[in-house]
Amino acid sequence: EDQVTQSPEALRLQEGESSSLNCSYTVSGLRGLFWYRQDPGKGPEFLFTLYSAGEEKEKERLKATLTKKESFLHITAPKPEDSATYLCAPTSGGSYIPTFGRGTSLIVHP
C-alpha cells in the first residue's frame, strides 16, 4: 500500500527565515511526485512534478528536490504571501492516481 507522510504538520516562520518541508513516501516504482499549494477554502494549485532521484525544480522562492525515499520543498527567504498548505502526492508505477499527504501548513509572519 502506498504511503505518504509530510512533516512538520505546521510550520511558523519569520519573513526571510528559510526552511524545508519534508515528504516521505513508500510507493512501488515511483512514476512521478507532485507538489501543490493550497490556500484556505480553495482548490490545490499545481507547483512541480519530479520524476527521478536527483531531480530539482525551482519556482521563485521554492525549490523541490527528490530522493528515492523523500522529497523536500525548500523555501528561501519566504514572504507572508507564501503562507499556505503544501501538499505532496507521489504516483506509483502501477497507477496514475496520486496518493496525497496530509500537507504542511506554513505561516510566514511579517
Partner 1 sequence: DGGITQSPKYLFRKEGQNVTLSCEQNLNHDAMYWYRQDPGQGLRLIYYSQIVNDFQKGDIAEGYSVSREKKESFPLTVTSAQKNPTAFYLCASSNNYNEQFFGPGTRLTVL
Q: Which residues bind partner 1 (CB under 8 A)?
A: 4, 31-32, 34, 36, 41-46, 49, 87, 89, 91, 96-98, 100-103
46, HSE (Cβ side, Cα atoms, 13 Å): 6
Which CB, 75 or 88, lies closer to partner 1? 88
Nearer to partner 1, 77 or 107 (CB): 107
Toward partner 1, which CB reaches closer, 78 or 91?
91
Place of cell 484556505: 40
Q: Which residues pair with 30 in a beta bridge?
A: 92
